[in-house]
Amino acid sequence: MEKYTDGKTLIADLVKKYKDEIDAKVQNGANWAQAVYRLACRQFHPDLGTGQSNIDWRCEMMKLVNVWYETAKTAPQPTAPEMAKTELDSIREELREVVAKARRYPGVKLEATGAWLWAWGVKPTDPAAEYFKSIGFSWHTQKFVFVYAGVPAWGHIRSMRTIRRVHGSQEIANQIDPAVA
């Protein structure tokens, strides 16, 4: 049993361990601090423990949780849209980095559709293919193009026309690197 000295460290470890469960509750409209508090209570409440040997430890942990919750419940809480915005910002930053690497090759047409990048004009046998694979692109066997998936795809394979209509499309200009050309 770990010994925590403050509620922030205890809660931080709990949030890391149960991030998906907490995020799901917030997505469904729950208050973040309350969701974390209830989870902590399930973990540390003395009445829910097994055996008498760890009751003192559970009481100490609940004291830390209660002190943390008294301050956290009045602080501004992240909402589901704010959490989604943070995740979207990280996806955008990841895409920026991949675009910066991919746009160096001449003769490659880059297209962004949603959180996906398409590298038209590179074949699996081209010398550039290994480079595109090394930066996260993979060969799409149905569309015969290298693709970088910023987020996983769910559902069936759609035509490029449908993908462009649903997610929008933007061609990305190349910045040819003389060292690569």
User: H-type helices in the chain, by residue range?
Assistant: 7-17, 19-27, 32-44, 55-72, 80-102, 127-134, 160-167
The pLDDT tens digits of the residues spanning 46-87 come to 887 666 667 888 888 888 888 888 888 777 765 555 555 555
Q: Order the strands of the 109-113 sheet from edge to edge.
A: 138-140, 145-149, 116-120, 109-113, 170-172
| Residues linked to residue 117 through DSSP beta bridges, in sequence order | 112, 148
Q: Are residues 96 and 110 in the same domain?
A: yes
Residue 180 has pLDDT above 50, yes or no: no
Counted domains in the chain:
2
Whole domain around residue 27: which residue ranges?
7-78
Which region holds residue 57: left if phi is over 0, alpha if psi is between -120 and 50, else beta? alpha
Regarding whether 119 and 54 lie in a shared domain, the answer is no
In a domain, 181, yes or no: no
On whether both 113 and 166 belong to a single domain, the answer is yes
Judged by average pLDDT, the poorest of 55-64, 116-125, 171-180 is: 171-180
pLDDT of residue 81: 53
142, part of any domain? yes
Tens-digit pLDDT profile for residues 130-142:
999 999 999 988 8
Q: Are residues 90 and 167 in the same domain?
A: yes
Average pLDDT value for the chain: 78
Average the pLDDT over 152-170 and give the result. Answer: 75
- In this structure, the answer to whether residues 85 and 166 fall within a common structural domain is yes
Same-domain status, 55 and 85: no
Q: Is 73 helix (H, G, I), strand (E, B) or coil?
A: coil
Q: Are residues 54 and 133 in the same domain?
A: no
- Are residues 138 and 72 part of one domain? no
Range 103-113 average pLDDT: 84
